[in-house]
Chain A
Amino acid sequence: MRTNHAITVAAAALVALVACGGAYRDYPRWRFIAPAEVDRGCMLGKSFIRMSGKTGVGITVELRSRGDCNVRFVRAELVLDGQRAPATLPAPLELRGRSLVYVWLPFEFDNQAAWNAGRRDGAFEIDLEVAGVVAPTWRIAADHRREHRFRPGSDPWRR
């Protein structure tokens, strides 16, 4: 019995030694490097990057209307070293009065290949038709980077 305990303790010590813990892995992500807000007359737009990974990047566009306002996404692309990754576009929106809606734009492409190839600077381009008029392209510069190899604050030994 005593031998069994000794083996258990030794095995636990081994596991503890090999899996010492510390901070968890962090991941690269796309980040805007320019203001991501736009004023298009009857509506204000604001973008947020919500997901970024191997298969693409997803952004939320916040649309805030000042009054009744019809908005249609004509084009949304991530331009990356001359290559374009189009987003799946939402259906046209009818914003009534002072409305607030969030629109999901997933840009699906081989983001991992782009990362591996060092193509990490780009821009999100969004063309909107607001109240029946095609507005100038909304362009938001962005880059794909990892600021830390391990997630800050996830290291229990440093709390």
Chain B
Amino acid sequence: MATLTRLVLVAAALVVLGGCPKTRYRSDVNAPGIVHLEAPPPRENGDPAVYVEPEDPGEHELYIGPAVVLGPGSGRTSDSQHAEFEADLQVRVAYQTLETSHRSKDIPFPKQAGWAMTLGWSPIQTDHRPDDTIEVNTGPLYVEVERYWMVFSAGLGAVTYVDEWDGGVQLTLTAMPYGFRMRYLADGGFEFMGAFRLELPTSINWSR
């Protein structure tokens, strides 16, 4: 893929993250609340306005967090005197049930500790050549299982370079937006990256 295309891809992702106005999608499924029909309203007086509000059944929330992860890296370089740069596009998916439904201005973000899965791809990974030129390569594909609590998370998973096949494991520790990513590849050895994560908190909510 051409370098320009990859740059445009990352820039477009950043624009979406910065400018997307609506990030919570609400379904009408299961919308009615909980009522107890065994007994009439406690004080019946014929007032037309009397209405017993249903109880909140809570919600299901599917969190989908598209993100751009970028930062300096080292390890996969032709000149170890230089720090490289890597930009990743990834999406983090988590599901949780909420005891109470979200309010109108709540930002969609996993509030409880839970598990997530992250799928990612690195379209940009620079390589300083010995002749002082910079080559932009395509980075790896990765999948992580992540344990999170609020902005803190630890992810562990598999990583693979497709062009010249190489495979290994990847660990990411994050205190959003800051993070640290480490990879160990069968052929390439260790890679380290300061992984600054810009995530667009997005969710789909439907009632329990």
Residue from B36, B51, B54 with most neighbouring chain A CB atoms (10 Å)? B54
B52 proximity list for chain A (CB < 8 A): 50-51, 58
B55 proximity list for chain A (CB < 8 A): 53
A20 proximity list for chain B (CB < 8 A): 103, 105-107
Contact partner of B35 among A46, A55, A116, CB < 8 A? A55
A-B contact count (CB 8 A): 120
Residue B129 at the chain A interface, CB threshold 8 Å:
no
- Complex CA–CA separation, A70 to B74 (angstroms): 90
- The answer on a CB contact under 8 Å between A150 and B104 is yes
Residue A52 at the chain B interface, CB threshold 8 Å:
yes
- The answer on a CB contact under 8 Å between B37 and A27 is no
A52 proximity list for chain B (CB < 8 A): 32, 35, 54
Contact partner of A48 among B29, B31, B48, B104, CB < 8 A? B48
Contact partner of A21 among B37, B44, B105, CB < 8 A? B105
Residue B134 at the chain A interface, CB threshold 8 Å:
no
B150 proximity list for chain A (CB < 8 A): 11, 14, 18
- The answer on a CB contact under 8 Å between B30 and A116 is yes
- Complex CA–CA separation, A50 to B101 (angstroms): 22
Q: Which residues of B contact A (CB under 8 A)?
A: 26, 28-41, 44, 46, 48, 50-57, 101-107, 109, 111, 150-151
